[in-house]
């Protein structure tokens, strides 16, 4: 078991299989020189920051984090072969040019506050319901990477960014929650 304080990757592509606990002071992974995969569990439920210009992929069976900040490149949770049980209990901040992505094969519901101008991307055949405060998020919610038949997004909150869907992905707006869409809806039609 390793504790993440500041973990910096300064070399070639990196894969680390041990389990990690994000300590009470939070943790930062700086993937500044290579794409990085952490295949062990990541737990602790504390604040987590992904920095650097390369992608960090978390593929352990469990990912439990508090507030998540993605300030550079991409933080990807899961991959085509592994969709971790994921708990993100704090606010999500995605900087302009940065991406938070995850693979969903089931139904995911997020009540997190999301801020920033980056991208939230879903892969797989799952569905995503967002009900947290998105008023500070002007970025993109991209569902176009999902499976053809069942990728879906439900918004139970106001949103002023862009939503991208694939040909058969669908968007549901829960109007009983006083939802306002002021951004762009991109569909292939």
- Cα gap 68→28, rounded to integer Å: 10
More confident residue, 93 or 184: 93
- Cα gap 1→54, rounded to integer Å: 24
pLDDT tens for residues 20-36? 888 888 888 888 888 88
pLDDT at 96 over 90: yes
In 52-117 the beta strands, taken as DSSP E runs, fall at 56-58, 62-65, 68-70, 74-77, 85-88, 92-94, 99-103, 107-110, 114-116
pLDDT at 184: 61
Q: What is the mean pLDDT of residues 113-119?
A: 94
Going by the DSSP 8-state scheme, the letter that residue 124 receives in this structure is: B
Comparing 8-17, 37-46, 109-118, the range with the smallest average pLDDT is 8-17
pLDDT at 148 over 50: no
pLDDT at 70: 97
pLDDT at 107: 73
pLDDT at 4: 47
**How is residue 116 written in tokens?**
């920033």
Closest among 182, 85, 104, 112 to 145, alpha carbons compared: 104
Q: What is the mean pLDDT of residues 92-104?
A: 92
Q: What is the mean pLDDT of residues 51-55?
A: 92
Comparing 15-24, 90-99, 124-133, the range with the smallest average pLDDT is 15-24
> pLDDT tier at 181 (50, 70, 90 boundaries)?
low
More confident residue, 94 or 103: 94
Residue with tokens 């058969």: 168
Question: Are 155 and 171 spatial neighbours (Cβ–Cβ below 8 Å)?
Answer: yes
């Amino acid at each position: 078991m390793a504790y993440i304080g500041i973990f910096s990757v300064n070399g070639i592509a990196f894969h680390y299989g041990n389990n990690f606990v994000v300590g009470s002071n939070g943790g930062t992974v700086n993937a500044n020189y290579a794409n990085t995969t952490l295949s062990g569990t990541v737990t602790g439920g504390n604040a987590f920051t992904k920095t650097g210009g390369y992608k960090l992929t978390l593929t352990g069976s469990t990912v439990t984090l508090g507030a998540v900040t993605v300030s550079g490149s991409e933080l990807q949770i899961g991959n085509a072969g592994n969709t971790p049980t994921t708990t993100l209990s704090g606010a999500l901040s995605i900087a302009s040019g940065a991406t938070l992505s995850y693979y969903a094969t089931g139904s995911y519901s997020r009540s997190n506050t999301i801020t920033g101008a980056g991208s939230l991307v879903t892969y797989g055949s799952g569905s995503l319901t967002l009900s947290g405060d998105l008023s500070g998020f002007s970025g993109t919610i991209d569902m176009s990477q999902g499976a053809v038949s069942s990728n879906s997004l439900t918004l139970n909150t106001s949103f002023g960014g862009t939503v991208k869907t694939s040909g058969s992905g669908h968007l549901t707006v829960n109007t009983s929650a006083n939802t306002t869409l002021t951004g762009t809806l991109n569909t292939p039609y």
